[in-house]
Amino acid sequence: MHRRAYQAPALVAALILTLFLAACGEGGTSVGGGNEAPKTGAGTRQATAFDPRDEPIGCFAGKGVQSEKDPRYRERINILPATSGAYVTFTATLQDALSRQLRNEDDATGAEAIGPALFTVGDLDDATLGKIEDCLDERGTKY
C-alpha cells in the first residue's frame, strides 16, 4: 500500500515533464513565433492596427478640407494649411477629452471636445469649421 502512494506522485511528475519537453520542441511555434513569413493571398487576413485618424481624414477630404496625419503624434490630424494652427487630437473617450479640456492640458488649451476628439480651431473660417465639426460629430456617434 505504501508503494502505490509513492508511485502516483512520481507518475504525475513524469507526465508533467513529458508534456513540458514536448511543448519545448526545436521548431518554434507557428503562431506569433516569428518563424514564418506572413501569409498573404486569397482567404488570409492580416491584423491591422486601428488608427482613429483614418476615417476623419476621409470625411474631411470628402467635404473639401485638406488635412494630414501629424508625424510627431499618432493621435493628431493637422488641418491644412499648417499656418492655420488648427488640429484635431483624439482621446480614448469623451470623458477623457473633457477632463483634458478642464485640466487645460497642452493639447486641449482652447480646444472644443467633440466626442472623443479635441478640436483646436486655430484661424479657420466658419465654413471650414462647420465641415470639420460635422465629420467629428458623425464619428463621435459611432464610438
The per-residue pLDDT for range 23-71, each reduced to its tens digit, is: 665 555 455 555 555 555 555 555 557 788 899 999 999 999 999 999 9
Helix (H, G, I), strand (E, B) or coil at 90: strand
What is the pLDDT, as a whole number, of residue 66? 96
Q: Could you tell me the sign of the dihedral formed by the alpha carbons of 104, 107, 111, 117, in that order?
A: negative
CA-CA distance, 116 to 52, in Å (whole number)?
10
For residue range 77-87, list pLDDT tens digits in order. 999 999 999 99
Return the C-alpha torsion angle 94, 95, 98, 103, nearest 10: -150
Higher pLDDT, 40 or 72: 72
Backbone angles phi, psi at 57, to 5 degrees: -60, -40
More confident residue, 24 or 124: 124
Quote the Cα angle for 66-61-114, to 5°: 85
pLDDT of residue 41: 56
Q: Which CA distances in Å does 68 have to 53, 89, 107, 127, 142? A: 9, 12, 17, 19, 22
CA 100 – CA 89 distance, rounded (Å): 11
State the pLDDT at residue 13. 75
Pairing of strands 117-120, 67-69: unpaired
CA–CA separation, 7 and 14 (whole Å): 10
